[in-house]
Amino acid sequence: MIFDLSKRDFSMENHILPQNDQLILLLKEELDHLQALYPFSESNYRDCRKIRSTKIDIYDQYYFGTLHIPLMEPEKDASLSLGFFLTRHSFILICENQQDQEHFRLLLHKRQALASDLSKCLLYFLEDLLEENAGYLEKAEDSIIHMEEEVLSGRLSGFNKRMTPLRKHLLYLHNYYEQLGDLCDLLQENQLGFIGKDALLLFHHLSRHCDRLSGSTQVLQAYSMQVREIYQAQVDLQQNKIMKSLTIVTTIFLPLTLIAGWYGMNFAHMPELSWKYGYPLVIILSVLIVVLCVLLMKKKRFWN
């Protein structure tokens, strides 16, 4: 898809033509066609085909950047990969699929009042990528608060299954915001000289927005770590209670085990074995020992 920005009506052309003031939306499978018309670096086209991070590089007459964007679906570990070229007269965006291509076409169509400035097309495109991020971070905070309340109330089931993907996604988001902020800072420097003053100011605001989002993710990462420590403390407390119960039972029955072992030796000259009151005596002795152990533990507050 190609949109002639000089006409300011976003009329769509059918073929790629290297002309002035145009926005080009392409799919990755159309890169060969673009490569035949635009003499960008061969490494740029390789990076477009396999995008791994968010970055921007400056060349003599154009900027080249890639965007590796974590989507707001931590359980799916999904991401969106895009590449772009920004020249004095062209903004070329490479999408993975037609759905993304149509989404960005509609976005840039809504911004047609500012269509004469290609750097602003890039700016509003980046702003759209961050539009729902603050809301997602608020939901992530609510989710962590809810998990903390569950942990404090003793409901520990499924905690790691929910917390682990959330913490992993926050890490991805933090790296993404840091990289996107660096990208905006570099564009703000305007080393090639064709980005307008208004756009430079807006890139500055966008960079600060990325810094705020990055700071929020850091706070949430620290908060999630604190909640995980609370969870581990609760798990340890439950294990200590179990070990305490086992210790009490073992302590009570250890003397009885000693008695059973003692009279289980069956030596020939053990008088209790032939005494008619030997068996009742052992029963009474065992009961007394259990009662004595229970009273002693209650006095020492072992039950608390």
For 212-235, give the DSSP string: HHHHHHHHHHHHHHHHHHHHHHHH
Q: What percent of the chain has pLDDT over 90?
A: 28
Of the candidates 67, 63, 89, 66, the one whose C-alpha atom is nearest the C-alpha of residue 2 is: 89
Cα–Cα distance, 104 to 217 (Å, whole number): 26
DSSP string, the chain: -EEEGGGTS-PEESS----SSEEEEEEGGGHHHHHHHS---HHHHHHHHS--S-EEEE-SSEEEEEEEEE-S-TTTT-EEEEEEEEESSEEEEEESSHHHHHHHHHHHHHTGGGTT-HHHHHHHHHHHHTTTHHHHHHHHHHHHHHHHHHHHTT--TTHHHHHHHHHHHHHHHHHHHHHHHHHHHHHHH-TTS-S-HHHHHHHHHHHHHHHHHHHHHHHHHHHHHHHHHHHHHHHHHHHHHHHHHHHHHHHHHHHHHHHHHHHTS--TT-GGGT-TTHHHHHHHHHHHHHHHHHHHHHHTTTT-
pLDDT at 14 over 80: no
For residues 55 and 34, is the Cβ–Cβ distance under 8 A? no
Strands lying side by side in the sheet with 55-58: 12-13, 2-4, 22-27, 90-95, 79-87, 62-70, 55-58
Statement: residue 2 has pLDDT above 80:
no
For every residue of 171-212, DSSP letters joined together read: HHHHHHHHHHHHHHHHHHH-TTS-S-HHHHHHHHHHHHHHHH
Q: How far is CA 273 from CA 254, 262, 264, 288, 296, in A?
A: 22, 12, 10, 21, 31
Averaged over 118-129, what is the pLDDT? Answer: 83
- Residues 181-194 have a mean pLDDT of 91
Q: Is the pLDDT of residue 34 over 50?
A: yes
The fraction of the chain above a pLDDT of 70, given in percent, is 88
pLDDT above 50 (res 11): no
Rounded mean pLDDT of 126-140? 89
Q: What is the pLDDT of residues 84-104, one digit of tens each?
A: 999 888 888 888 888 877 777
Say yes or no to pLDDT of 7 above 70: no
Cβ(211)–Cβ(133) below 8 Å: no
- What pLDDT is stored for residue 206 in this prediction? 93
From 83, 92, 82, 87, select the one nearest 23 (Cα to Cα).
92
Name the CA radius of gyration of the chain, rounded: 35
Q: pLDDT (tens digit, 9 = 90+) per residue, 213-246?
A: 999 999 999 999 999 999 999 888 888 888 888 8
Mean of the per-residue pLDDT values for the chain?
83
Q: Does residue 300 carry a pLDDT above 80? A: no
- Out of 19-33, 38-52, 113-127, 218-232, which region has the weakest mean confidence (pLDDT)? 113-127
Least confident range from 75-84, 86-95, 135-144, 281-290: namely 75-84
What is residue 113's predicted lDDT score, i.e. its pLDDT? 45
Say yes or no to pLDDT of 17 above 80.
Answer: no
Q: Go through the domains of the chain in sequence order and give each one's CATH number.
A: 1-129 (3.30.460.20), 242-299 (1.20.58.340)
Q: Residue 248 burial (CB < 10 Å; 0-12/13-18/19+)?
A: middle
Structure tokens at 50: 């396999």
